[in-house]
Structure 1
């Protein structure tokens, strides 16, 4: 059934009337053009209300928006629209993510399962974690926000059955060939650096290795000559890459995921990682990054004791993509490291 203003209003009226938790909840503002949506969002912002606004296209597609810049979902499925309106209404009442899940289940058991899955249906749930969330990748989230130990965390993965050579990758970025060949570790840089403290020179260094099926390279600023040998870089066989970048002075944190030569981003470009609101999917529902929405929801439900949303997000990256960093190697200085090679004259 094509969604129209009438069918949407009637369907929501029936839904709200049929569930005690939705009594008195009206249909969110509905706009029929981008200009009208802007006015709707502007009125909401003036009222300090970032509630849901709907844009109904001529073809019956409904686009949900929170604020001026965040498109939350796009769907032509009326039942999904009703679910998303109900979810937004229940979330606005407050409570933990688990309490919202319980409330959605009281409205409809299928809706409760859907909310817990984090997706637009109740399938494809992520298995419960069952271990310390700060062991795999999330241990670095807090210090990374303060640009320590590195501002850029880059991960690379090849096709199944192949690996991205960590040494070759570091060399292509500009790591000192002598230190790479010598197997230099982070503790070695700190021990032999007599001219200046490593704390000053770390901006000229990188760490690299493999963990969780990915090759990682951590650094601050890569030399301009990085990737000078395009053929050698292609020969590494990289099919996926994830780059997390922090600029704490400006409070900008970005997430960039490339797969098969294209950015996975629902046509949004490099995505800024912000302190997302618990229970609210950080990315477009049903979009290319919906797998990460599901993993974030699972992390929220599995680890209510984790209060830092960056740690939850990093844990979701580990669960969904397998990203990891060896905490002990970093702590004990055993991770491979090198300074960038000196510029040739």
Structure 2
């Protein structure tokens, strides 16, 4: 059945009337055009509301928006629309933690509670408890990275199954010093020179590289002119996936770029900012290309309420969904491979 403004209003009225916890919750404002949506957004900004708005297309597609330009879902499934409206309403009305939101949705409809816990758009996913310490995985670096330490850019590269990206070749392609790469220089080696003073002065000119969790990582600040200019050498590495995390603390810009098979995975959103993530609310398009990350974040929230830093939750979700890792012990003990950029 095609969704119309009337069928949507009637369906929500029945849904809200059928559950005491939804009594009094109105259908979000519905726009029938982009101009109407912008007008709703302006009104929401003036009231500092930030609530969900709906854009109803002529073909019956319902598009959920937070603001005029951030589309958070698009579906022609009426039941799915009702769930997403209820999820947003419960978060706003009852507040609390993601677990409290899940419990409230459980009381309304157990299927809705399961759906919220899975982080997906249906309740069929199998949910398993994590059982790991996030700070022993990728999340250990999240807080310091926010202040661009130890590096501004965290890059991860993965080849096709059965292959790996050569970490030394990648570092050299970026411009690492050949002699230091060949010598197997480690962080503690550079820190031992001149009592570590030279490394403190030149750390901004260094890179760090290695392999963990099936990915090759390369961490750095600025890259030298001409880095990875050799396109043939880059292609020979066999890279199929690349994840790039960039921190600019002075401007509070923290971004994610994920490329797979030479195509940016972003649902056409452009730059993906980590600060969009708010605990309990999926940061990316529901059912979109990055929905796997929405689901991993929901699991991280529910499995690890002890993590109060949102970037730690985000990094743990990157680990559980994509397998990204950085060897904490190697960094802390100075065993991680490093090199300065070659002088040109």
TM-score range, shorter chain: over 0.9
- What's the CA shift for 1:339? 0.2
Q: 1:302-341 residue pairs with structure 2 within 5 A?
A: 302-341=303-342
Matched with 1:107 is 108
- What's the CA shift for 1:269? 1.7
Matched with 1:207 is 208
Q: 1:152-231 residue pairs with structure 2 within 5 A?
A: 152-192=153-193, 197-231=198-232
- What's the CA shift for 1:62? 0.7
- Distance, in Å, in 1 between the alignment partners of 2:286 and 2:201 is 43
- What's the CA shift for 1:127? 2.8
Secondary structure in structure 2 of the residue aligned to 1:244: strand
- What's the CA shift for 1:130? 0.5
Secondary structure in structure 2 of the residue aligned to 1:239: strand
For the Cα contact (< 8 Å) 2:103–2:113, is it kept in 1? yes
- Distance, in Å, in 2 between the alignment partners of 1:297 and 1:285 is 12
- Distance, in Å, in 2 between the alignment partners of 1:44 and 1:229 is 50
Secondary structure in structure 1 of the residue aligned to 2:246: strand
- Distance, in Å, in 1 between the alignment partners of 2:277 and 2:197 is 40
- Distance, in Å, in 2 between the alignment partners of 1:139 and 1:248 is 18
For the Cα contact (< 8 Å) 1:275–1:310, is it kept in 2? no
User: Is 1:273 aligned to residue 271 of structure 2?
Assistant: no
Q: Which moved more, 1:156-165 or 1:69-78?
A: 69-78
Matched with 1:62 is 62
Matched with 1:17 is 17
Q: Which runs of 5+ in 2 are unaligned?
A: none
Matched with 2:75 is 75
- Note the alpha carbon deviations across 1:144-187, whole angstroms, 9 max, x for none: 00010000000000000000000000000000000000000011
- Distance, in Å, in 1 between the alignment partners of 2:119 and 2:196 is 52
- What's the CA shift for 1:84? 0.4
TM-score w.r.t. structure 1 length?
0.97
Secondary structure in structure 2 of the residue aligned to 1:258: strand
- Distance, in Å, in 2 between the alignment partners of 1:270 and 1:214 is 22
- Distance, in Å, in 1 between the alignment partners of 2:153 and 2:268 is 23
- Distance, in Å, in 1 between the alignment partners of 2:216 and 2:127 is 24
For the Cα contact (< 8 Å) 2:176–2:342, is it kept in 1? yes
Residues 313/125 of structure 1: CA separation in 2 closer, same or farther (3 Å cut) = farther
Matched with 2:50 is 50
- Distance, in Å, in 2 between the alignment partners of 1:178 and 1:124 is 50
- What's the CA shift for 1:138? 0.3
- What's the CA shift for 1:15? 0.4
Secondary structure in structure 2 of the residue aligned to 1:207: strand
- What's the CA shift for 1:268? 1.1
Matched with 1:138 is 139
TM-score w.r.t. structure 2 length?
0.98
- Distance, in Å, in 2 between the alignment partners of 1:178 and 1:333 is 19
- Note the alpha carbon deviations across 1:71-119, whole angstroms, 9 max, x for none: 1111111111000000011001211110100111111111110000001
Deviation beyond 3 Å, 4+ runs, structure 1 = 193-196
Matched with 2:289 is 288
Q: Which moved more, 1:104-113 or 1:186-195?
A: 186-195
Q: Which runs of 5+ in 1 are unaligned?
A: none
**Between Structure 1 and Structure 2, how many residues are aligned?**
343
- Distance, in Å, in 2 between the alignment partners of 1:195 and 1:208 is 20
Residues 150/126 of structure 1: CA separation in 2 closer, same or farther (3 Å cut) = farther
Secondary structure in structure 2 of the residue aligned to 1:162: coil
RMSD: 1.2
- Distance, in Å, in 1 between the alignment partners of 2:128 and 2:217 is 25
- Distance, in Å, in 2 between the alignment partners of 1:185 and 1:195 is 13
For the Cα contact (< 8 Å) 2:106–2:112, is it kept in 1? yes
- Note the alpha carbon deviations across 1:204-247, whole angstroms, 9 max, x for none: 00000000110000000111211121111101000000000000
- Distance, in Å, in 1 between the alignment partners of 2:151 and 2:202 is 12
